[in-house]
Chain A
Amino acid sequence: MFEPKRLHPIVIVLTIGKRLKDFIFSFIALFFIWKNGGKLLLFGAIGIAMVAIVLTSILSWLRYTYRLEQNELRIEYGVFVRKKRYIPLERIQSLDISEGILQRLCGMVKVKVETAGGSGTDEAEAVLAAISKEEARYIQEYVAAAKNPAVQEVESNPAISSHTVYRMAPSQLILLSLTSGGVGVVISAVLAFFSQLDDFIPFERVFRGVEQWAVSNLIIIVLFVFGGLVVAWVIALVGTMLKYANFNVTKTEHDLVISQGLLEKRQITIPLTRIQAIRINENIVRQWLGYASVIVESAGGSVSNQEGSKVLLLPLVKIDSIEDILGPYLTDYRLSSSFHPVPKRAMLRYIFRSWIIIVPIVAAAIFFLKAWGLLSLIVLAWFTFWGILKYKDAGWKLENQQLNLRYRKMVRSTVFIKKNKIQSLEVKESYFQKRKDLGSLEAFVKVGFGGGGSTVMDMDQNDLKKVYSWFSREAKKRD
């Protein structure tokens, strides 16, 4: 394993694909801009660009070598500028293994090397785009052995020490897809795609002719739009299903390992010591059905790879079964669901806060649209309801070495943070809050490269003091 090795040649195809994707829009642009001058010249130019892409892809494959040497993963690459990247094995946080369609055709896997984020650039990590499974396993074992030589025996036989934490049932997968917000993403992607084309297709000219036709065929257009939405929804549904199919969480000695995906298999490894907080999210539909998703916020990942830091641990579970599923494995955490509410006098503030944006809009609507503007009162009622919901959901609890916070922005979030993972704690009180003896609490944890805060608004001042002195190390000393 000390001799330099190349990746599987399939990488060439992958690289060509990636570069073509980057260039495709410039090609299309060129195609439309190129008015004078022969088409032959244009195709010539594109042809040369293609050849260049293919050649550089092959060259970059030839140049890319990796080897394990002197407790380092040494990668050398670069066509024009030669680069060497040596990653000390003990700096490697985890190796994430995934399989794309192309990799699967050749029986290869893609290995992502995650180091501790913090250097601020994507330089800190490496990707081995296609190596054989045996090779990947060998590297995994080698890295594990280098990190803690004492447990080498156990690590080399992970089948014994790993327990299945959770496996998603097909019925849950369907429910997950039905209630996910992926539809919005697909619709906006389609819209973004059309706005990209805006410059190339003479929409205006097309539409002028269409306009008259449109008026007489309104129903067809409505059906068409509606059909489009249904298709978008189905795409999102299938997308979620493919992504989370075969979802499976296991626990090895030091890590949680998540594997998921049907066409593209992914494996995510979260070292237990890197977990910063556990978060339970419930969007309104799922909350109504009694379901929630559990997210692990970890300190891994880097700027370019944020997905390493917020990982879906349980995509969809019954809210009351979370403790049973995770309790035996995350022994440090108490995932209880009882909370101290914020005081009643805070409710008006919650309602006013959600009114701030909407009231001027409603007022303007009524002023300008007269009777029709009254319809906007429905929106106002909805925002009031939402404000009350936020008030009802806000809560906190101290549990020995753990702070539990619950609040709602769009979805209801319940966060469990260990005291020693809180980076800093803030207590805020505005003039109006002070008059009502209220204040807001915000706890920051490290999430991936940056930080993430969790805020509970308008807590009672006495409760704030409790949390504050719980977190203060000096306050305890003086008591």
Chain B
Amino acid sequence: MILEPQKRISAKALTVWKISGVIQIVISWIVTGVAIFLLHTFNGPFWISVLLIVIELISTYLFIFLLPTIKWRRWRYDVRDEEIELQEGIFIVKRTLIPMVRVQHVDTVQGPILRNYQLASVIINTAATSHEIPALEESEAEELRHFISTLARVADEDV
């Protein structure tokens, strides 16, 4: 009786998340490099450097390969006539139900990486919360925003 959201977000999202993972990891490698250099010059204990490198290696794998894949596989959404349903989360799976009558406004946003891949995120705002559907195809995001804002307007109730 409980409905599962069906739609997946764009497959290109995976690439985008991997890229932003790479950017994060590069920055953290630089920080680690500086830290190890400082440890070396001030004769800090050697095992800390080893530990740092091990942590970096693990998080490289996590942030570039494992986590984006799980995140993408988990992300589902559904926009029906009367409600929006989202499913997301890596370790904790979160399902959100937003009645259409509660939607106040819808935005689409596009960062530089997303724009490069013709993707956009849709942000749905209620009076109390805001929810993001990340990385949809540009045209789909546009359509969705239009669809939601039309429905939300029809079903306008007082808060």
Binding site for B on A (CB under 8 A): 118, 273-274, 276, 299, 420-431, 434, 444-447, 450-452, 465, 468-469, 471-475, 477-479
Contacting pair B96 A423 (CB below 8 A): no
Nearest first, the 8 closest Cβ-Cβ pairs linking A and B are A451-B128, A423-B128, A446-B127, A473-B82, A423-B126, A430-B92, A446-B128, A424-B98
Contacting pair A428 B89 (CB below 8 A): yes
Q: Does B97 contact A (CB under 8 A)?
A: yes
- Quick one: which of A420, A424, A434, A450 contacts B96, CB cutoff 8 A? A424
| 26 A-B contact pairs sorted by A residue (CB < 8 Å) | A118-B127, A420-B101, A420-B157, A422-B102, A423-B98, A423-B102, A423-B129, A425-B97, A426-B94, A426-B96, A427-B94, A428-B95, A430-B92, A431-B91, A444-B128, A446-B128, A446-B159, A451-B126, A465-B2, A471-B99, A473-B82, A474-B3, A474-B80, A474-B83, A475-B2, A477-B82
Q: Does B153 contact A (CB under 8 A)?
A: no
Nearest residue (CB) in B for A274 is B159
Contacting pair A444 B129 (CB below 8 A): yes
Nearest residue (CB) in B for A433 is B92
Per the 8 Å Cβ criterion, residues 84-124 of B in contact with A are 85, 89, 91-99, 101-102
Contacting pair A424 B129 (CB below 8 A): yes
Given contacts A421-B159, A426-B97, A479-B1, 19 further A-B contacts (CB under 8 A): A273-B158, A274-B159, A299-B127, A299-B159, A423-B129, A424-B98, A426-B94, A426-B96, A428-B94, A429-B92, A444-B128, A451-B126, A452-B128, A465-B2, A468-B97, A469-B1, A473-B82, A475-B2, A478-B3
CB distance from A80 to the nearest CB of B (A): 36
Nearest residue (CB) in A for B89 is A428
Complex contacts, B131 vs chain A, CB 8 Å: 424
Complex contacts, B128 vs chain A, CB 8 Å: 423-424, 444-447, 450-452
**Pair count A-B, CB < 8 A:** 92
Q: Does B81 contact A (CB under 8 A)?
A: yes
Q: Contact mask B6-37 → A, CB, 8 Å, 1/0?
A: 00000000000000000000000000000000
Which of the listed residues B80, B99, B102, B157 has the most CB atoms from chain A within 10 Å of its own CB? B99
Contacting pair A424 B97 (CB below 8 A): yes
Complex contacts, B99 vs chain A, CB 8 Å: 422, 424, 471, 473
Chain B contributes a number of interface residues (CB within 8 A of A) equal to: 28
Complex: how many Å from CA A11 to CA B158? Answer: 37
Contacting pair A471 B159 (CB below 8 A): no
Nearest residue (CB) in A for B80 is A474
Complex: how many Å from CA A475 to CA B5? Answer: 12
Contacting pair A475 B91 (CB below 8 A): no
Complex: how many Å from CA A445 to CA B2? Answer: 23
Q: Contact mask B62-83 → A, CB, 8 Å, 1/0?
A: 0000000000000000001111
Complex: how many Å from CA A274 to CA B82? Answer: 23
Nearest residue (CB) in A for B102 is A423
Contacting pair A475 B93 (CB below 8 A): no
Complex contacts, B96 vs chain A, CB 8 Å: 424-427
Contacts A424-B131, A446-B128 given; does A475 touch B82 at CB 8 Å: no
Nearest residue (CB) in A for B94 is A428
Complex: how many Å from CA A461 to CA B46? Answer: 49
Contacting pair B2 A424 (CB below 8 A): no
Complex contacts, B95 vs chain A, CB 8 Å: 426-428, 468
Complex contacts, B80 vs chain A, CB 8 Å: 474
Contacting pair B83 A473 (CB below 8 A): yes
Nearest residue (CB) in A for B81 is A474
CB distance from B77 to the nearest CB of A (A): 14
Which of the listed residues A273, A274, A427, A465 has the most CB atoms from chain B within 10 Å of its own CB? A427
